[in-house]
Amino acid sequence: MKLENKSPGSSRREFLKSSSQVAAATTLVAASAQHVHAAEDNTIRVALVGCGGRGTGAALNALSVENGPIQLVALADVFEKNLRSTHTSLSKHKRVGSKVDVPEERQFIGFDGYKKAIDCLRPGDVVIFATPPGFRWVHYTYAIEKGLNVFMEKPVTIDAPTSARMLEINKKALDKNLKVGVGLMCRHCKVRQELFDRIQNGEIGDVSLLRAYRMAGPTASAAVPPNTTDLSELQYQIKNFHGFLWLSGGAVSDFLIHNIDEACWMKNDWPVRVHSVGGRHYRGDMIDQNFDSYGMEYTFADGAKLLVDGRTIAGCKQEFASYAHGSKGLAVISSASHTPAESRIYDGHNMDKDKLLWDWPEREENPYQLEWDDLIAAIRNDTPYNEVERGVMASAVTSMGRMAAHTGQEITLEQFMSHDHEFAPNIADLTLDSESPLQANADGRYSIPMPGLVKKREYL
């Protein structure tokens, strides 16, 4: 299960071979595969599905690529307010506003808006998926059917059944030679790529311990108050999607995946098992399903450990960083947030200035932009580019740690990938009038994890 040191757009690892429910992804593209490229006028047309802050940022990065003409032509969301805000922000942007051509007839509201936006594109164009990730496999299926290149935000799955499904769906994208980027932008960071090479070349010795932290105050919509709005239960959950496991995988999947992914990357492997702890503190009347502190101990096949701490409690020590410890010294993978990484290597395990062996000498480029530069270059040059397998694996490993905390059990990767608890099996059929897959009780509260009591699934 070692990861190969390839370019960021190629698959970096073999998939878990022992899981009977998960087929290994095929070789990226055969030489005889269909040549999918931008339309004949050389303009890559883009549709955005999911007009929140993350989607708006992804569209801005797409339109900022300086590699041939590119144009935003369609928007879709379930909330009109979000769509209008995104359209205003991008169309009035000084640098990219002239690349926005989204009249009202190409602005779509509703659960079927993704299909309508996709239908505005031509084979070889690009669709951005930035909705809550519970919908990812549904949207991806239709994009592949239409022959579109894709950028999807992380995480790409939120439970075991959808992880297996995404790998199976992705085979069709590989067969069609579609280019697919996943929003784990740290993999495109040049300083982290240099650090990876140095670690693999033995500069910190044998890696035996990695540590990752994302400890902050209350974050995004992880803590959700009771619904006192006019929104339906379904719409309210979508608006506060970080609080509900069926939509996002919760705080763990959305907030910790980058640190877990970059640590596993530096180890050049995926862990084989995990046990975790977590709890709910000072919750008041909050109705979400999250714990607000998590601690995970992942174990790799060689016995090395990855320790992950996540917290969203005000007034506590904050840290947002990842580290790798080897027999010779310490590597700082990231220092504070995602960028700049400020990666560096020390002799020994203390970060003393006089023990600094290497750091990045240049100003760091923005990895959010680099991932788009790489994707568009692959489309223009018709080079193999599909990041879904590692996106699924990063998502699954993160969810595995969350599940261990929520059940109080040690879980292996093989056990997780063969699990049958799908949080929202009817998600493809939802409409604005549907009931939510997660229903409140008579007190307006939702099922929460109960470690040690509910052991076989994350919630009832």
Kindly state the tokens that stand for 360: 């990045």
Q: How far is CA 68 from the centre of its chain?
A: 27
Tell me the pLDDT of the chain averaged across its residues: 92
Percent of the chain with pLDDT over 70: 91
What does the alpha-carbon distance between residue 37 and residue 382 come to, in Å, rounded to a whole number? 7
pLDDT at 352 over 60: yes
What does each C-alpha distance from 58 to 62, 183, 447, 458 come to in angstroms?
A: 6, 9, 33, 31
- Asked whether the beta carbons of 244 and 446 are under 8 A apart, the reply is yes
| Each residue's pLDDT tens digit, 140-161 | 999 999 999 999 999 999 999 9
Please write the tens of the pLDDT for every residue from 159-215.
999 999 999 999 999 999 999 999 999 999 999 999 999 999 999 999 999 999 999
Take residue 139 and report the two structure tokens written for it: 């949207």
CA dihedral 369, 370, 376, 381 (to 10 degrees): 160
